[in-house]
Amino acid sequence: MADIRIQKYAQVLVEHSARVKPGDRILLEGTTAAEPILRELYIQILEKGGHPHLMMTLPGTMPFSQDELYLTYANDSQLDFVPSFYKLAYDQFEGRIRMHSATNTKGTTNIDPAKIQRRSKATSVITESQFRRGAEGVFKWVTTLYPTEAYAQDAGMSLKEYEDFVFNAVHTNEENPVAFWQSVKDKQQSAVDFMKDKSQVILRGPNVELTLNVKGRTFMNSYGLFNMPDGEIYTGPVEDSANGWVKFTYPANYGGTSVEGAELTFSNGRVSVAKAEKNQDFLVKTLDSDAGSRFIGEFAIGTNFDIQQFTGNILFDEKIGGSFHMALGAGYPETGSKNKSAIHWDMICDLRTDSEILVDGELFYKDGQFVFDK
């Protein structure tokens, strides 16, 4: 008998996140390690009248290729090649479900960052299509994860412990997990409503002294449509508005490389100084990817207090209740962000101790909790 948690996980993705309707063409992305849930997704999409298109790859750490194999052996013209089937799906399909399922999260660690950047630049047209069509409401995309030994090891857990962690974070233990995620929307909406028509955001704490402007930008209520699990509110700040500094309290992982102790200084929106305790060269090279990679594409506050431990996977870690994160690089058009880049690199900072966020001079957030007047 199939694990009921896998059935409920698939139900959340099909009914809540991808909102599959009869006739929808849905791209299913995942590695062979995720076969149990990919099989269940395939069945449930068919039961909803959709058309599942399964693109199963060899296990790895990045989408659109066989990861380290491609990056190791591809020549420049191959690195520049845009994958035909993926581009067609992202340009034309009604949705996609990406199931991260790496069996080695460190496979690209020793690959030349320039090759990774070149490949990212080539596939950025696919990401741009995803964001643009998603903002237009014609492409329902969701990114999630299937527990593997590699992720469990990164999190410092046994596979059984990590499976429990993942399924609990998705709330497959609920009798009706779809209804649960709808309730998350309701709980977060007051914070989103408060931020409407606001301008200045000031973050203060032992690891941050940063000012942003969000005038004319839209805060989004993130409750499981694009990520699963979820729990955050986010926007794209005015591109030239960031001034100050932040030291990220958790490792910043990107493309299989972990940057520890990353500290960024911003001047008129741009990262003017980038330092790190580990892998600083990788940090600087990645931030030099293109014209938009040193600007903030996303500013977000994590609201999921069911996720309190760092696991080394951004899908979960950026949702940690009591934290904020920002992404260098590409922004989400639905927020009003105009920043474009081949990268979207999330970095997380804890706000649970001696920290606050002021919005237009009013205390909005204190020591990990919203405190504004509702």
147-178 pLDDT, tens digit per residue, is 999 999 999 999 999 999 999 999 999 999 99
**Residue 243, beta-bridge partner list:** 211
Residue 197 sits at φ, ψ, to 5 deg, of 65, 15
Q: Which residues in the chain show pLDDT less than 70?
A: 1-2, 61-62, 64-65, 374
Q: How many domains does the chain have?
A: 2
- Which structural domain range is residue 189 located in? 179-370
Helix or strand run (H / E) with residue 30: strand 25-31
Residues 278 and 354 in one domain: yes
Does residue 83 have a cis bond before it (omega within 30 degrees)?
A: no
Residues 264 and 287 in one domain: yes
Question: In the prediction, which pLDDT does 1 show?
Answer: 42
Cα–Cα distance between 233 and 201 in angstroms, integer? Answer: 14
Inter-residue long-range contacts of 75-81, CB under 8 Å, 24+ positions, other chains counted: 76/118, 79/115, 79/118, 79/119, 79/122, 80/118, 80/121, 80/122, 81/122
Pairing of strands 369-370, 95-100: unpaired
C-alpha 299: how far from chain center: 12
Residues 207 and 114 in one domain: no
Residues 99 and 247 in one domain: no
Question: Could you tell me the pTM of the whole model?
Answer: 0.85
Question: In the prediction, which pLDDT does 256 show?
Answer: 76
Helix or strand run (H / E) with residue 10: helix 4-11
- Please name the residue that has the structure tokens 């990919």: 38
Residues 27 and 99 in one domain: yes
Residues 155 and 9 in one domain: yes
Question: In the prediction, which pLDDT does 106 show?
Answer: 83
Q: Are the beta carbons of 293 and 116 closer than 8 angstroms?
A: no
CATH number at residue 41: 3.40.1830.10
Residues 183 and 306 in one domain: yes
Residues 146 and 36 in one domain: yes
**Domain ends where: 173, 206, 227?**
173
Cα–Cα distance between 109 and 61 in angstroms, integer? Answer: 10
Per-residue CA distances from 89 to 26, 225, 255 (Å):
8, 19, 23
**pLDDT, the chain, mean:** 94
**Domain ends where: 127, 142, 173?**
173
For residue 370, give every residue at least 6 positions away whose Cβ sits within 8 Å of its Cβ, in sequence order, or none: 190, 191, 364
Question: In the prediction, which pLDDT does 62 show?
Answer: 66
Residues 234 and 118 in one domain: no
Cα–Cα distance between 52 and 43 in angstroms, integer? Answer: 9
Determine how many CB atoms are found less than 10 A away from the CB of residue 277: 12
Residues 337 and 193 in one domain: yes
**Domain ends where: 173, 200, 220?**
173
Residues 98 and 142 in one domain: yes
Question: In the prediction, which pLDDT does 131 show?
Answer: 87
Question: In the prediction, which pLDDT does 105 show?
Answer: 86
Question: In the prediction, which pLDDT does 293 show?
Answer: 97
Residues 270 and 361 in one domain: yes
